[in-house]
């Protein structure tokens, strides 16, 4: 099995009997951050009211607490409902630099059964173009699993 497969299997095992969303986000942030060396910030933002994201469980330096849907890469993922794969954050003028060292980022939306974005999973790296197509598809699969299990 690939490392992605191992990590997904471990997360599914850890969450098998877990019905609490905060506990699940905390566990996922920890497992991802400690399993992939190029993940330098790993965490969730939650939709707390229409068009507003607030920070959730994360690993890494402090992240900004509130992101409107019309701001940042996270806001773009929440607004469009589509994965944002950003190999060079400096190429996206709307990028919010919680850390000046971030060079690449992937943000994946998490949706409920009605297709509404209830959270996003944000991955930042201090390396340029750090996230492979396998990282992106793994993260999308994980977010689909989380959305179906908890919403």
User: What minimum distance in Å lies between the beta carbon of 76 and ligand SME?
Assistant: 7
Q: Does 121 bind ligand SME (CB under 6 A)?
A: no
Count the helix, strand and coil residues of the chain and give each as a percent rounded to the nearest 5: 40, 25, 35
The angle subtended at Cα 116 by Cα 123 and Cα 51, nearest 5°, is: 75
Give 31 or 105: the residue with its C-beta nearer to ligand SME: 105
If the CB atoms of residues 13 and 93 are measured against ligand SME, the closer one turns out to be 93
The reply on whether position 85 binds ligand SME by CB under 6 A is: no
Nearer to ligand SME by C-beta: 65 or 148? 65
Contact call for residue 64 and ligand SME (CB under 6 A): yes
DSSP 17-82: T---HHHHHHHHHHHHHHH-TT-SEEEEEEEEETTEEEEEEEESS---SEEETTSHHHHHHHHH-S
**Which residue in 7, 73, 110, 123 binds ligand SME (CB under 6 A)?**
73
């Amino acid at each position: 099995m690939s490392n992605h497969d191992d990590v997904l299997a471990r997360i599914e095992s850890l969450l098998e009997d877990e019905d609490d969303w905060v506990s699940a986000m905390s566990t996922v942030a920890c497992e991802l951050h400690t399993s992939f060396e190029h993940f330098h910030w790993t965490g969730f933002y939650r939709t707390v009211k229409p068009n507003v994201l607030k920070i959730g469980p994360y690993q890494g330096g402090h992240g900004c607490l509130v992101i409107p849907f019309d701001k940042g890469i996270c806001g773009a993922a929440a607004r469009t409902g589509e994965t944002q794969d950003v190999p060079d954050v400096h190429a996206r003028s709307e990028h919010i630099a919680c850390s000046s060292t971030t060079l690449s980022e992937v943000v994946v939306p998490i949706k409920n059964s009605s297709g509404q974005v209830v959270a996003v999973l944000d991955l930042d790296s201090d390396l340029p173009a750090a996230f492979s197509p396998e990282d992106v598809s793994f993260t999308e699969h994980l977010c689909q699993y989380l959305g179906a299990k908890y919403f």
